[in-house]
Amino acid sequence: MLTRRKFLSLCAKTTMAVSLSELLLADLDKAVAAKEIKKPTVIWLELGSCTGNTISLDNTASPSVKELFNKVIDLRFHWIFMNAEGTWATDIMRRAAKEKAGEYILVVEGSVVLADGGTWDNIAYENGQLVTGVSVLKDLAPQAKHVIAIGSCAAFGGPAAARPNPSKSVGVQDVLDRQVINTPGCPCHPDWFLGTLYHLINYGVPELDTYNRPKLFYGRLLHDQCQRRAYFEKGIFAQHLGDSWCMFTMGCRGPRTFADCPNREWNGTDNWPVGCNTPCIGCVEPGFPDVSMPFFQRYPDLKLPGFSANLDKAALGLGVITLGGLGVHLGVNLATQRLRKNLTETSLPLSPPGPRTKAQLEGIRTEAGSEDAPAQPEEFRPLPANLQVRRPKKARRTLHK
């Protein structure tokens, strides 16, 4: 097995020829074959969800999920991947929970649906009765060794809980009185899930942030790892989706999102949204998607020393400074340092809000029934048609690959 130090350094590595999942599963496979570790029993519940996290995991070309299920984990229940159906399937799940009480890992995908006693999300049929997802979750969670909420819906409610939330969806942590390890993402990256699983199997619970996300993967601001950060610093912003400059003006939520997408990338190690000239929409954050909407609209204000302006005025100001003969280097340096300082330290909500209190949770559940249309935050304003931003005279190759 890898030492923990080696494992941590692999997780933090910025360039890899093969995916982290591939390395970790090969290692687990060897350890299981050599009887160094026992295959962990996994029960996978899907509640209010689009199955996106299962599909994301299934997208790992190498290793395939078949290898994962056959060689590394003892998967007892997953409604998509098993042959059994109906009572036969739920019997297997109940038997596994009894036999492996205190040992199994419960993976939950999807939000917990509370509307009408949870009956909007029946996931089983037992003894002639439909059984709700929330009741199965509450039955299985107490005896699980670990509970992992995979994807943003399971972690925080996610799109399933977006306003007006008629299904009264909430995250798994909101209904359980025990530790839940959150691996959010819409969907969750296979490495985030498998890396967390690897850590649990070999070294126990990884270090978590205030939202119970493993810091290994969600510990650093995305904006600080972005290949286009230099453009941000210099005030070189995209004017359209598809431009290869900083996507801040296109509504990039990188400055308030904690994930390692720029380094990890998706579909193996291929690319990520900003690399495809579209902004990050902050899918791993609590409150997503409501807190990120409307998508493609930039954060509103920019506080420059002595006055507050929006980005349009700031861009104009930069032009005036340059034309005013302060000198290109002096002007750019002054302006970008101020841009950087003000955008990153004063203007943007860099840290997500603290964990929800009980009163907030009550509020969520009450508000969940509201049928009001989502209010457009006042501070978001449409981009003006004549937005002027600085661009290099000659189009250069982008900083990213």
Residues that bind ligand SF4 (CB under 6 A): 185, 222-223, 226, 228-229, 232, 246-248, 252, 254-255, 257, 259, 261, 272-274, 280-284
**Minimal distance in Å, beta carbon 348 to ligand SF4?**
9
CB neighbours of residue 322 within 10 Å: 16
| Cα–Cα distance for residue pair 338/92, rounded to 1 Å | 61
Contact status, residue 106 vs residue 148, Cβ threshold 8 Å: yes
**Minimal distance in Å, beta carbon 265 to ligand SF4?**
9
- Residue tagged 């650093």 (tokens): 220
Non-local (6+) Cβ contacts of 100 within 8 A are 41, 76
**Minimal distance in Å, beta carbon 397 to ligand SF4?**
16
Tokens of 41: 């029993």
Question: Which of 122/346 has CB closer to ligand SF4?
Answer: 346
**Minimal distance in Å, beta carbon 16 to ligand SF4?**
17
Question: Which of 78/253 has CB closer to ligand SF4?
Answer: 253
**Minimal distance in Å, beta carbon 86 to ligand SF4?**
36
**Minimal distance in Å, beta carbon 320 to ligand SF4?**
24
**Minimal distance in Å, beta carbon 291 to ligand SF4?**
12
| Cα–Cα distance for residue pair 51/53, rounded to 1 Å | 6
CB neighbours of residue 164 within 10 Å: 13
Contact status, residue 174 vs residue 161, Cβ threshold 8 Å: no
**Minimal distance in Å, beta carbon 145 to ligand SF4?**
28
Rounded to whole angstroms, the maximal C-alpha distance in the chain is 82
Measured at the CA of 213, the angle between CA 208 and CA 214, to 5 degrees, comes to: 60
Question: Which of 64/344 has CB closer to ligand SF4?
Answer: 344
| Cα–Cα distance for residue pair 300/111, rounded to 1 Å | 31
**Minimal distance in Å, beta carbon 141 to ligand SF4?**
26
Helix (H, G, I), strand (E, B) or coil at 366: helix
Question: Which of 28/283 has CB closer to ligand SF4?
Answer: 283
> What is the number of alpha carbons within 13 Å of residue 340 lying toward its C-beta?
13
**Beta strand ranges found along 66-185 (DSSP E):** 74-77, 105-109, 112-113, 122-126, 129-132, 146-150, 169-170, 181-183
**Minimal distance in Å, beta carbon 184 to ligand SF4?**
9
How does DSSP assign 134-147, residue by residue?
Answer: HHHHHHHGGG-SEE
Question: Which of 146/298 has CB closer to ligand SF4?
Answer: 298
Helix (H) or strand (E) holding 153: helix 152-156
Tell me the residue number closest to ligand SF4, measured at CB: 254
Question: Which of 24/247 has CB closer to ligand SF4?
Answer: 247
Question: Which of 40/255 has CB closer to ligand SF4?
Answer: 255
Task: Give just the sign of the alpha carbon dihedral 109, 111, 117, 122.
Answer: negative
**Minimal distance in Å, beta carbon 257 to ligand SF4?**
5
| Cα–Cα distance for residue pair 349/224, rounded to 1 Å | 14
Question: Which of 338/365 has CB closer to ligand SF4?
Answer: 338
| Cα–Cα distance for residue pair 122/372, rounded to 1 Å | 26
Question: Which of 42/339 has CB closer to ligand SF4?
Answer: 339
Non-local (6+) Cβ contacts of 325 within 8 A are none
Question: Which of 158/331 has CB closer to ligand SF4?
Answer: 158
Question: Which of 40/159 has CB closer to ligand SF4?
Answer: 159
* Chain CA centroid to CA 383, Å: 27
Helix (H) or strand (E) holding 157: none
Strand partners, 105: 42, 146
